[in-house]
Structure 1
Amino acid sequence: MSDHISGPRALAEPIADITDVYAFPSPERSDRLVLVMNTLPFAQPSDTLSEGLIYRFRLRPLTPTGAGEGAPFAAGTPEFVFDCVFSPPTIDGTGPGVVQDGFCTTPTGETVQFRVGDEHSAEMHGVRVFAGLRWDPFMMDAPAALKTIATGTLAFTDPGAIYLDGKNVLSLVVEVDTELLGGADLVGVVAETLTRGKFNVRIERVGRPEVKNMMLAPKEHDQVNRDLEIRDIYNTEDAYHLGESYPGAYRARLNANLAYWDGIDGKVDWAPTAKGDHPLTDLVLADYLVVDATKPYAESGSFLEIELATLHGGEHQTCGGRALNDDVMDTIFTQLINAGNGPVIRDGVDAATRPATRVFPYLAEPNSDPPTVPEHHH
């Protein structure tokens, strides 16, 4: 489920649950970078964004460190932060429903005010913002993926089915002038939800999809921390600077689970490093999207392209990041299972039922009659 329901706390506080993060050059304007954070799985038409949260995007300039051991990029300074907060919803005097305002603070300290649900908000201070209900663009046959993990055998069918298709999310789209990024070409992007007030606690942070649910959640292969639910701990970490206490635990879990994924097709495509780590472990732990803001928008094929090119010692060709219509799960399954040395591993789902558009705010209109939360998620 990408990052839907990615741990006990996300299950307990779904309003703060980030389901997906996207970052891509705008298909409308080459000098704009689009940042998308989707929250609240199974959002209903009456749901509003939380006045108790900070919705934060953190961007850092990246420098490739080259092929070999360790993370493929070094995150530099300064950090560029876009913070969005929301007013309590109020009753609309002109008709049914509620009114809610949002406020986005740019890295230079200016604040841009916008109305929730307004698809035509004006650009101010190099930023344009949309927030509101949208069709969940994430596509994957989640039950088949879970069955694959449970059995160690590919369980995908063609066609597959998007689990509870037609779900809505609360979406935040921040389109920024690349001049606000201080001349950085290559940037890392991570999204976070934090408590709002005098004391800000990071509740969740997301870079790449499926790190928590498919790579960190399964416990049974981890010989070191077999009974540890590790995802809530991982969520509190700074994506650019892991703390000193838990990297050994993350590493043990990833080494075990990534090796398990690699073995699903009966052959080893990722030989362990000299330290005994899986070659993707450091890449996964550098858990942010990598975007080249100078390259043109790509509808598909850009996800992980920069990271993999750098890992293999080559030059990247695309903008990287993650576009809304990119079938990233096929990319992930293929890399995990055969490192791109074999056929594409398809989950049988290639597109959203309502694909994203090429005009702001990009995500498709919400479903007026969405599915509700299934019982076992309560």
Structure 2
Amino acid sequence: MHQRSFRRPALGVAAALAAAACVASLAPTIGTASSHREAPLVAGEPRLDNTDVYAFVSPDAPDSVTMIANWLPFEEPNGGPNFYAFATETAYDINIDNDGDALPDITYRWTFDDNYRNRNTFLYNTGPVTSLDDPDLNYFQTYRLQAITENGTSTLIRSGKVAPSRVGQASMPNYGALADAAVTKLPNGGQTFAGQADDPFFLDLGIFNLLYNGDFSQIGTDTVKGYNVNTLAIQVPKKALALKGDDTRNPVVGIWSTTSRKRVEVVGTKNQRDRSGEFRQVSRLGMPLVNEVVIPVGRKDEFNATQPKNDARFLQFVTNPEVPRLVEQIYKIPAPATPRQDLVETFLTGFCKDCGPVAVDLNSQRLNKDVDVSKFQPSEQLRLNMSIPPAASPNRFGVIGGDNAGFPNGRRLADDVLDVTLRVAEGVLLPNHPAAVDGLGDAVDANNVKFRGAFPYVALPNAIGVNQQ
């Protein structure tokens, strides 16, 4: 397996994009802010709501992979007095499938504890906070990080420190130092981070006004600008993720995040919550925009509780998607013929020459030399080929822009997944698609603030209220 086998088909799509340069980049998108409030249950419990998953070969440490998962959407910076915390008695997981059987071979699990220095004040902090151990930080969280494999569970970090919510300049005069201090080394190489960050996703959410009310001039507003999320990030050597520890023979992995809550909750007379029983999955996210616009509203909570190995029950919504029909109805762009096997490849199998109509070897676990292909199970995952090095000049369109290091081969923070997913949904990977498809987008092309150049890469959380911007 070498890079040339990936490059040729991607460049073909890039040529099509260049030929369509005269098409204005004005058209409806197809989703919400990835998984922001996408299903009825988690919309009411935002601390359980997975918003986005990112996975990429680390640009400044190319022998490693960085995985980022976000929770708790639309955090308004001025959200006191309690601000934003991870839920306790809850499992926040990043799962890795390296053999394609739709079961996690490795799970990184974070669980959190609340800590108060003084319960007789309403303040989050009682003075300026200059370190994670500062006694003026009244409320703080700690976490345990475990690695779960078929060989058992090992504890990587027993009492990690969470970067606090960014209260403001007076309370946290050097928030960057606090965030940096929350980066913790892992025992066998790599590092992790837990804390608040700027929401790295960027898009115009006007889609819910009947797909921009049929008026392309209304697009271009970054709806999540200024909001924060809670972030978990982990950077590990490639061999830690690869099947049999061999990232040369087996470079492809599938990644998704989940949130699981204790099964039983009892509310006490003072409104305290006592939870018991085993963990039950309540939220899930791999590829962006699947639960939001592929799964119908009556099945969204079910999808969130479902394991990838059971994704066949949702196949009909991938092969016969609703969005292209709506786009055709409102914008008169013909919907591709169904069943959509190109979307099965995009969302459920990854791309390989034996996987479907898009005949390119890119990011299916079937490409791993030690995989038993007979046990391969189509399932919704964010798939990454770790053998493709970081791009010297990343293209926000990823693979369809000729950059195989980008989405849907994993997902980098700056990848424009809204534009890419819309074009794929409208048939950009199929021959003889309408020329208008090559110019579709929401006119929000980048995050409003720059990402950091080193781990955990996400930008520092916003401190200015959204209503003040």
TM-score of the aligned structures, taking structure 1 as reference length: 0.78
Larger mean Cα displacement after TM superposition, 317-326 or 32-41? 317-326
Residues 259-274 of structure 1 aligned to structure 2 (within 5 Å): 259-260=324-325, 263=328, 266-268=332-334, 270-273=336-339
- Tell whether the 8 Å contact from 2:384 to 2:410 is kept in structure 1 after alignment: yes
Aligned residues: 334
Shift of 1:120: 3.4
**2:40 corresponds to which residue?**
8
Structure number with the higher helix fraction is 2
Query: Structure 1 residues 336, 261: CA separation in 2 closer, same or farther (over 3 Å shift)?
Result: farther
For residue 38 of structure 1, give the secondary structure of its aligned residue in structure 2.
strand
Task: Read off the aligned partner of 1:180 and give its amino acid letter.
Answer: A
Task: Read off the aligned partner of 2:416 and give its amino acid letter.
Answer: D
- Tell whether the 8 Å contact from 2:194 to 2:231 is kept in structure 1 after alignment: yes
1:366 aligns with 2:446: no
Query: Structure 1 residues 146, 36: CA separation in 2 closer, same or farther (over 3 Å shift)?
Result: same
Name the larger-Rg structure: 2
**1:375 corresponds to which residue?**
none
**1:135 corresponds to which residue?**
198
For residue 15 of structure 1, give the secondary structure of its aligned residue in structure 2.
helix
Query: Structure 1 residues 284, 253: CA separation in 2 closer, same or farther (over 3 Å shift)?
Result: closer
2:446 pairs with one of 351, 357, 363: 351
**1:293 corresponds to which residue?**
386
Task: Read off the aligned partner of 1:147 and give its amino acid letter.
Answer: N
Q: Deviations over 1:269-294 (max 9, x none)?
A: 63324xxx564256435321110112
In the alignment, the residues of structure 2 paired with residue 47 and residue 129 of structure 1 have an alpha-carbon distance, to the nearest angstrom, of: 19
In the alignment, the residues of structure 2 paired with residue 191 and residue 180 of structure 1 have an alpha-carbon distance, to the nearest angstrom, of: 17
Overall identity of the aligned pairs, in %: 23
**1:221 corresponds to which residue?**
none
- Tell whether the 8 Å contact from 1:110 to 1:125 is kept in structure 2 after alignment: no
Larger mean Cα displacement after TM superposition, 89-98 or 188-197? 89-98
**1:167 corresponds to which residue?**
227
Task: Read off the aligned partner of 2:257 and give its amino acid letter.
Answer: A
Q: Which runs of 5 or more structure 2 residues have no equivalent in the other structure?
A: 1-32, 118-132, 164-180, 263-275, 349-378
2:303 pairs with one of 234, 237, 254: 234
Query: Structure 1 residues 157, 260: CA separation in 2 closer, same or farther (over 3 Å shift)?
Result: same
- Tell whether the 8 Å contact from 2:201 to 2:224 is kept in structure 1 after alignment: no
In the alignment, the residues of structure 2 paired with residue 29 and residue 253 of structure 1 have an alpha-carbon distance, to the nearest angstrom, of: 36
Q: Which runs of 5 or more structure 1 residues have no equivalent in the other structure?
A: 63-73, 218-227, 310-314, 373-378
Shift of 1:18: 0.7
**2:49 corresponds to which residue?**
17
Shift of 1:371: 3.7
Query: Structure 1 residues 278, 293: CA separation in 2 closer, same or farther (over 3 Å shift)?
Result: closer
**2:240 corresponds to which residue?**
180
1:49 aligns with 2:86: yes
1:59 aligns with 2:96: yes
In the alignment, the residues of structure 2 paired with residue 213 and residue 168 of structure 1 have an alpha-carbon distance, to the nearest angstrom, of: 20
Q: Deviations over 1:166-223 (max 9, x none)?
A: 1010111011121212223101001000114541110100011111222224xxxxxx
In the alignment, the residues of structure 2 paired with residue 371 and residue 322 of structure 1 have an alpha-carbon distance, to the nearest angstrom, of: 27
- Tell whether the 8 Å contact from 1:53 to 1:194 is kept in structure 2 after alignment: yes
In the alignment, the residues of structure 1 paired with residue 104 and residue 50 of structure 2 have an alpha-carbon distance, to the nearest angstrom, of: 25
The two structures, once aligned, show a CA RMSD in angstroms of 3.0
In the alignment, the residues of structure 1 paired with residue 38 and residue 87 of structure 2 have an alpha-carbon distance, to the nearest angstrom, of: 19
1:190 pairs with one of 235, 250, 256: 256
- Tell whether the 8 Å contact from 1:86 to 1:102 is kept in structure 2 after alignment: yes
- Tell whether the 8 Å contact from 1:38 to 1:171 is kept in structure 2 after alignment: yes
Residues 245-264 of structure 1 aligned to structure 2 (within 5 Å): 246-247=313-314, 251-252=316-317, 255-260=320-325, 263=328
- Tell whether the 8 Å contact from 2:294 to 2:317 is kept in structure 1 after alignment: no
1:325 aligns with 2:414: yes
Query: Structure 1 residues 370, 149: CA separation in 2 closer, same or farther (over 3 Å shift)?
Result: same
- Tell whether the 8 Å contact from 1:157 to 1:348 is kept in structure 2 after alignment: no
In the alignment, the residues of structure 2 paired with residue 77 and residue 254 of structure 1 have an alpha-carbon distance, to the nearest angstrom, of: 23
**2:122 corresponds to which residue?**
none
Task: Read off the aligned partner of 2:413 and give its amino acid letter.
Answer: L
- Tell whether the 8 Å contact from 2:50 to 2:71 is kept in structure 1 after alignment: yes
In the alignment, the residues of structure 2 paired with residue 300 and residue 12 of structure 1 have an alpha-carbon distance, to the nearest angstrom, of: 37
Query: Structure 1 residues 95, 26: CA separation in 2 closer, same or farther (over 3 Å shift)?
Result: same
TM-score of the aligned structures, taking structure 2 as reference length: 0.64
Query: Structure 1 residues 282, 295: CA separation in 2 closer, same or farther (over 3 Å shift)?
Result: closer
For residue 346 of structure 1, give the secondary structure of its aligned residue in structure 2.
coil
- Tell whether the 8 Å contact from 1:58 to 1:79 is kept in structure 2 after alignment: yes
Q: Deviations over 1:118-145 (max 9, x none)?
A: 34322322341101110001100011x2
Query: Structure 1 residues 348, 236: CA separation in 2 closer, same or farther (over 3 Å shift)?
Result: same
1:106 aligns with 2:147: yes
Shift of 1:77: 6.8
1:88 aligns with 2:153: no
Task: Read off the aligned partner of 2:86 and give its amino acid letter.
Answer: L
